[in-house]
């Protein structure tokens, strides 16, 4: 059977059918998956049985592994390239990063070269009386850009957002070493997707600390207005997880938010990998 691509009703997201990720991908299978990834920004495969080694091998088809600073203390035993995201506690200790992604963001936007994509493999999904919890939402940044009025598009031409890892949210929790590893950076507010050429908005309310050359109050207002625009309901795909899902997203085309609507004894366990982009984003 060939690869079948079933888009969601949202401007991002597609289910990929006819692929068993526990087996090596053929050249044509990989090309189909890679094209779907670029076209749809979020793709997912249901009912997979992927070992940690399989997840790492699948990730490497798309780029080199990139390590997320928030996963440094929660790498999977024997597979430090995989970050455990979980609310589970064992022996009084949290086994993974708890409440990861509880604010809208694009992964590692505070680095000079943010990752191309991220993969989540759902091992355990919380459920209450048959109702699945712990969904993840994805906002289509290209659809949000396309929807802007022409004057705003013109105004944003050449504007660069400032990102400071040590900024507002994290000042109290990061170490001096992390501060030095991630000095402030800027990225274009309008990023051009390296493959599709689509224009994507790259602004987040919590991570952007300013806009280069724009007075602070004005910059904060612009960041807030754009960030709110990106997450309008019509731009969002909401993924309802099933154990066995493997889902990957493009950090230029989407921002994401993990809904924290569950608590122990309901368990959520995800394995996450992140892969690098070839070159700094345009
Ligand atoms: C993340 O932001 O990487 C976590 C997403 C999720 O757990 O659904």
Copy the structure tokens of residue 228. 């709110």
- Residue 78 among the catalytic residues: no
pLDDT, mean of residues 231-255: 98
pLDDT over threshold 80, residue 104: yes
The finding on whether 156 has its CB within 6 A of some atom of ligand 1 is no
The finding on whether 97 has its CB within 6 A of some atom of ligand 1 is no
Position 281 scores a pLDDT of 64
Rounded Cα–Cα distance for residues 35 and 79 (Å) = 28
Position 278 scores a pLDDT of 77
Rounded Cα–Cα distance for residues 282 and 276 (Å) = 15
The finding on whether 56 has its CB within 6 A of some atom of ligand 1 is no
Is residue 97 within 8 Å of 83, Cβ to Cβ? yes
Q: What is the CA radius of gyration of the chain?
A: 19
Closest CA to 87 of 126, 52, 33: 126
Position 266 scores a pLDDT of 96
Choose which residue among 270, 271, 274, 275 to substitute to test ligand 1 binding: the one with the highest number of ligand atoms within 8 A of its C-beta: 270
Position 180 scores a pLDDT of 81
Lowest mean pLDDT among 33-37, 55-59, 108-112, 235-239: 108-112
Largest CA distance in the chain: 57
Catalytic residue among 123, 142, 239, 256: 256
Tens digit of each residue's pLDDT (9 = 90 or more) over 107-158: 999 999 999 999 999 999 999 999 999 999 999 999 999 999 999 999 999 9
Catalytic residue among 160, 187, 268, 272: 272
pLDDT over threshold 70, residue 170: no
The finding on whether 121 has its CB within 6 A of some atom of ligand 1 is no
Position 163 scores a pLDDT of 93
pLDDT over threshold 70, residue 172: no
The pTM of this model reads: 0.95
262 Cα–ligand 1 center, Å: 14
The pLDDT-based confidence of 234 (bands split at 50, 70, 90) is very high
Residue with tokens 């899902």: 245
């Amino acid at each position: 059977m060939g690869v079948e691509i079933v888009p969601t009703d949202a401007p991002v997201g597609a289910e990929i059918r006819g692929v068993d990720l526990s087996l090596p991908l053929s050249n044509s299978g990989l090309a189909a998956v890679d094209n779907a990834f670029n076209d749809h920004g979020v793709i997912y495969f249901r009912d997979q049985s992927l070992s940690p080694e399989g997840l790492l091998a699948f990730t490497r088809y798309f780029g080199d592994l990139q390590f997320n600073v928030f996963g440094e203390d929660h790498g999977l035993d024997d597979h430090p390239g995989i970050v455990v995201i979980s609310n589970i506690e064992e022996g009084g200790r949290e086994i993974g990063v708890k409440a990861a992604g509880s604010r809208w963001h694009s992964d590692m936007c505070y680095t000079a070269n943010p990752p191309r994509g991220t993969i989540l493999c759902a091992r355990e999904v919380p459920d209450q009386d048959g109702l699945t919890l712990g969904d993840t939402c994805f906002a289509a940044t290209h659809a949000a850009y396309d929807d802007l009025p022409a004057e705003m598009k013109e105004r944003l031409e050449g504007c660069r957002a400032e990102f400071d890892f040590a900024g507002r949210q994290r000042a109290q929790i990061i170490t001096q070493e992390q501060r030095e590893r991630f000095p402030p950076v800027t990225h274009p507010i309008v990023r051009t997707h390296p493959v599709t050429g689509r224009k994507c908005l790259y602004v987040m309310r919590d991570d952007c600390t300013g806009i280069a050359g724009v007075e602070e109050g004005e910059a904060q207002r612009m960041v807030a207005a754009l960030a709110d625009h990106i997450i309008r309901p019509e731009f969002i795909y909401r993924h309802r997880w099933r154990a066995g899902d493997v889902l990957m997203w493009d950090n230029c085309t989407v921002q994401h938010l993990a809904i924290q609507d569950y608590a122990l004894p309901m368990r959520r366990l995800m394995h996450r990998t992140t892969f690098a982009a070839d070159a700094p984003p345009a």
